[in-house]
With several copies, the nearest count.
Chain A
Amino acid sequence: MLTTRINIFQGVFWLIFILITIFLVVLVGGLLFYGKWAAFVSVIHHPEFHFAVVFTLWTSLLATALAAVVAVPCGFILSRYSFPGKVLIDTLMDIPIVLPPLVSGIALLILFGPVLGDALARLGMDIVFSTRGVVVAQWFIATPFAIRTFKQAFDSIDPRMENVARTLGYSPAGVFVRVTVPLAKGGILGGLTMAWARALGEFGATAMLAGITRLKTETLSVAIFLNMSIGDIQFAMATAVIMLLVALLLMIAFKVFAGTGVRL
């Protein structure tokens, strides 16, 4: 917008924006304030915490990568092709968002336990109660967010942009990599951030599919849950705050690095 003067419309928008910002700052402040310094220190020195941080990081990143691998083709096909039953499949892909994670966990447990369990076991690819299960659960929860965002990003591309690249000698795959993805970059990065954040905070499905085994399938979210369960709220909150700070830091770094925060 071009006028320097802020009018009512912009005023209201800014007001809401500022209120929400304050709300979130106060919220995080509350978490920080509630936590005790001693708890932070003890959390940071706890070997279980170290394990959980590393474990959470790699599982969530792997899950996000896998989510991208699935979401890119799904988003693309939902965006570019028409076929009977498309609305149905489109909605089917929202299922993991709709289902309470607990139920998602059960559904995964049914699938990878009684249904596919034996076959997977023979392949040495046990998923239930294993670290693989953590990745699968996070992937399952995060993927639909990526699909939805990617589809939207692909939707907003002028197909003639892709046509031009075809005439310049790019195969459909080349066009996709060289034109479609860069044009959808903002949306893809946004979707990845969202998927990662979701994978990070995921608890219900992970707990159900992978179980909560200390030093084996214990993510940060799980650690928080466990500490809550034994009534150690201080410790739980401290873990949550540290996890939050790490996540925010990583996301800011990612945004600055990938240039999505800055509007070009």
Chain B
Amino acid sequence: MNQDLLEACALTVNVGKFSLKNIGFSMGPDDYVVILGPTGCGKTVLLESIAGLRLLNGGALFLSGKEITHLPPERRRLGFAYQDSLLYPFLTVQENILFGARARGLKEAPEMRRRMAYLAETMNITHLLGRYPRFLSGGERQRVSLARAILTKPPLLLLDEPLSSLDRQTRHATQELLREIHLAEGIGIIHVTHDFSEALQLGSHMLMLHNGQVEQAGKPRDIFFHPATEFAAKFLHGENLIPGKVVGREGKLWFEHGGDILLGPLPECCLPKGLSPAGNSLTMFIRAGSIRLSRAGEAPAANSWSALISDVIINSTHVDVYCHGNGSSWQSSLSLAEWQGLDLSRGERVRLSVDPEYLHVIPQ
């Protein structure tokens, strides 16, 4: 059995009126855990608790199999970066980055110097090394704070929205850096983010928090395409959430919406577990990218229905088409080229279709 890097058992933490309740998860050294959740759901508190900066009111923490529940933060040696960068104003950028090395008496060690130079280069802050933090912009500060947490190669990194004030390009470079640190140096990472693509691109494992509790945990892709609850689906910006119920026909299960639309047959995996679905009021979850849009002329087929285009929003990477049909709103995402090929515009009638593979049913 591969040993867990971090195991959190039933963590409970009270902060004022808020409390984290019964958080449990475990991760190996090759896991990159992303934590997602609405603001105020307890993400920062959770990271602080893991780092040892908050006293637990219950539960236990194990690092590489050793209990660290009562270990002070400096003996856990986890890398940690707060949401706001909190640089030391009395130290230059370089000294800030080397601050962790200094704790171990390695401030002058050549390997630390080399690593600092490498990190600064990658994050494009080499020209700032001699400056004091008050002369930095928000994004510059955030990168310095990240470099400071990473420098001494801690076994586990706890990062609270480390990329939130970076522009796309810098963010991309920093993501690459994180991925490399994770893969090449075998450092486990827990990364709080609000950005879905960040979560999808970086995370090997995802924890979704809600009101201080784990709402859903699993692979990011699984959660994105198979949210377990309506909250999760909505939170993940599930574009199409359609009420209806599941009916059995010809030995298979189908999803019925408004009497007119019958989607299916539903694959086993896309049904909520432990729940006899037939007859219950349920919600069908379809990502906008999974709904195919074609000209109205095409022949009606299974899992397809007709609708009117109500709005079109052209984004940088894709086009969002909003339609109205069968008493519901539908959203479909197309690539620019595809949209161009269809040559449609607002008000026209179209045919929407979905592959049963992309259907996902969640309890209401």
Contacts and interface: CB of A to CB of B under 8 A. Distances in A.
Contact of B103 (A3, A161, A168): A168
Interface stretch (A48-56, A125-133, A176-184, A205-213): A176-184
B328 to A, nearest CB: 45
B103 A179 contact: no
B88 A2 contact: no
A170 B101 CA distance: 10
Interface string B129-164: 000100000000000000011001000001000000
Contact of B90 (A158, A165, A182): A182
Contact of A166 (B55, B73, B132): B73
Given A3-B72, A167-B79, A161 B86 contact: yes
Given A166-B73, A167-B78, A174-B74, A4 B55 contact: yes
B282 to A, nearest CB: 44
Contact of B99 (A158, A165, A172, A264): A165
A69 B262 CA distance: 80
B87 to A, nearest CB: 9
Given A167-B53, A171-B74, A178 B48 contact: no
A172 B72 CA distance: 9
A170 B73 CA distance: 9
B225 to A, nearest CB: 35
Given A169-B100, A169-B152, A163 B53 contact: yes
A260 to B, nearest CB: 13
Interface residues of A, number: 24
A258 B149 CA distance: 30
A178 B88 CA distance: 10
B82 A160 contact: yes
Given A2-B55, A178-B102, A167 B73 contact: yes
B86 A168 contact: no
A164 to B, nearest CB: 6
B103 A169 contact: yes
Given A169-B74, A174-B74, A163 B48 contact: yes
Nearest to A170: B103
A168 B55 contact: no
B52 interface: yes
Contacts of A158: 86
B54 interface: yes
Contacts, number: 80
A255 interface: no
A88 to B, nearest CB: 25
Nearest to A182: B90
A185 interface: yes
Classify the interface of chain A: helix, strand, loop or mixed.
helix
Contacts of B80: 163-164, 167-168
A168 B90 contact: no
A260 B100 CA distance: 27
Contacts of A170: 74, 103
A171 B75 CA distance: 8
A185 B89 CA distance: 11
Contact of B52 (A165, A166, A168, A264): A166
Contacts of A165: 99, 103
Interface in A212-263: none
Interface in B146-200: 148-149, 152, 158
A264 B100 CA distance: 24
B143 to A, nearest CB: 15
B127 interface: no
B55 A160 contact: no
A182 B88 contact: yes
Contacts of A169: 74, 77, 100, 103-104, 152
A168 B72 contact: no
Given A169-B152, A179-B88, A163 B73 contact: yes
B54 A164 contact: no
Interface string B302-323: 0000000000000000000000
24 contacts: A2-B54, A4-B55, A161-B86, A163-B82, A164-B82, A165-B99, A166-B53, A167-B52, A167-B53, A167-B78, A168-B80, A168-B100, A168-B148, A168-B149, A169-B77, A169-B103, A170-B74, A171-B72, A171-B74, A172-B72, A178-B99, A179-B88, A182-B88, A264-B89
Interface of A: 2-5, 158, 160-161, 163-172, 174, 178-179, 182-183, 185, 264
Which 5 A-B pairs have CB atoms at the shortest separation, nearest pair first? A169-B103, A168-B100, A166-B73, A167-B80, A182-B90
Interface of B: 48, 51-55, 70, 72-74, 76-80, 82, 86, 88-91, 99-100, 102-104, 132, 148-149, 152, 158
